[in-house]
Amino acid sequence: MIYTTTDSPIGELLLAGDGAALQLLHMDGTPAAAWERDDDAFAEVRAQLAEYFAGDRRDFDVDLALAGTPFQQEVWEALRAIPYGETISYGELAQRVERPWASRAVGAANGRNPVAIIVPCHRVIGADGTLTGYGGGLERKRTLLDLEHGVRPLA
């Protein structure tokens, strides 16, 4: 696995994959000892992230290679369909993947999203409109949602 890091307004982001396709985007992540650092890797991903944080990009167009179960893949694809600046509940996400009884399972799949921000799991909130769990922390989730609601660019 090849990795690099990039600075962002929400802290350092770890990018990893095969050098062409992105497999992981973690906040405050630590690379595995066997991984190889290549600071020239994922230049397009870093550029698109910079545009996103500047408020100039709403959708990402990068090669992804996401490892997960078929159910997780389905949930992650549904996450990518949530428009920029919009939020939905876990229950609504469960309905979108045609499993309205499975909001907890959908929440678990959401939590296993390997490429936060690009697959926008931060756009899923509680049924009552409150911010709920986010691997990067609720402050980062609030910051990303504020950016998308036009509160301010972050770059």
Q: How far apart are CA 2 and CA 17, in angstroms?
A: 5
Query: How do 13-17 and 36-37 pair as beta strands?
Result: unpaired
Check 10, 62, 102, 121 and give the catalytic one: 121
What residues have CB less than 8 Å from 150, skipping those under 6 apart? 55, 85
**66 vs 72: CA distance, rounded Å:** 10
Nearest to 122 by CA among 95, 88, 99: 88
> How far apart are alpha carbons 47 and 70 in whole angstroms?
30
- Residues written for the chain: 155
Catalytic site residue 34? no
CA–CA distance, 12 with 149 (Å, rounded to integer): 23
Active site residues: 121
